[in-house]
């Protein structure tokens, strides 16, 4: 069985592109059937459309602070597709507990730090400021608490002398583009079990 993916983006969607490239391989056990954005100007929408992927826009600005209305519109949109897993790829809206409950253990995200360290924004600058020796990325299941869900896998990079937030971000991004397809493959192959809020790979 091929796992059917919806990818949520807000910008250029470089991790989306990594997933599209992985799914283009004949032996990869997943396919992208939808790319959805809250931003009608997201460059990733053009990339997806040019690859023949269906795209949808649910612009949060049209809901004037009505988060429930915004999320219900997304849920209604998803109902029009056969989706097994939602992949957040630079989607800059926090999802509510109610939304996540509709897709329990079926939403994953990639975060540019070695969680649980450096949740939230500005991860690279914070790691450098703290004198950390390594950084990286984490692919995890989404739960109501931000960046706190069970971790599927992580990739590490060294923080070199003279490292800047931009140079570190570039190094980590290379690892992100490997980590996300690997994590989706594990899910698609049925090798991920969540036991006591932790991932076990079988």
pLDDT of residue 74: 98
pTM of the complete model: 0.96
In which region does residue 98 sit, left (phi positive, over 0), alpha (psi from -120 to 50) or beta (all else)?
A: alpha
pLDDT digits (tens, 9 = 90+) for 23-42: 999 999 999 999 999 999 99
Q: Which residues are catalytic?
A: 111
pLDDT digits (tens, 9 = 90+) for 43-94: 999 999 999 999 999 999 999 999 999 999 999 999 999 999 999 999 999 9
For the chain, what is the radius of gyration of the CA atoms? Answer: 17
pLDDT of residue 97: 98
pLDDT digits (tens, 9 = 90+) for 91-106: 999 999 999 999 999 9
User: 82 Cβ partners below 8 Å, 6+ apart?
Assistant: 4, 33
Task: Provide the CATH topology of domain 3-201.
Answer: Rossmann fold (3.40.50)
What tokens does 91 get?
């989607």
Instruction: Parse the chain into domains and list their residue ranges.
Output: 3-201
For residue 105, give the DSSP letter: T
């Amino acid at each position: 069985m091929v796992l059917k993916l919806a990818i949520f983006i807000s910008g250029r969607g470089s991790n989306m592109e990594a997933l599209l490239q992985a799914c283009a391989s004949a032996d990869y056990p997943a396919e992208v059937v939808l790319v959805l954005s809250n931003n009608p100007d997201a460059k990733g929408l053009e990339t997806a459309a040019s690859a023949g992927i269906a795209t949808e826009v649910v612009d949060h600005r049209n809901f004037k602070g009505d988060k429930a209305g915004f999320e219900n519109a997304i849920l209604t949109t998803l109902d029009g597709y056969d989706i097994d897993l939602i992949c957040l790829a630079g989607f800059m809206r926090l999802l509510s507990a109610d939304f996540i409950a509709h897709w329990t253990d079926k939403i994953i995200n990639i975060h540019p730090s070695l969680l649980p360290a450096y949740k939230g924004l500005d991860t690279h600058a914070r790691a450098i400021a703290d004198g950390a020796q390594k950084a990286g990325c984490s692919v995890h299941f989404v739960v109501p608490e931000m960046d706190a869900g069970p971790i599927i896998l992580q990739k590490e990079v060294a923080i070199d002398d003279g490292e800047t937030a931009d140079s570190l971000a570039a190094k980590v991004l290379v690892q992100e583009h490997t980590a996300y397809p690997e994590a989706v493959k594990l899910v698609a192959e049925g090798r991920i079990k969540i036991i006591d809020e932790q991932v076990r790979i079988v």
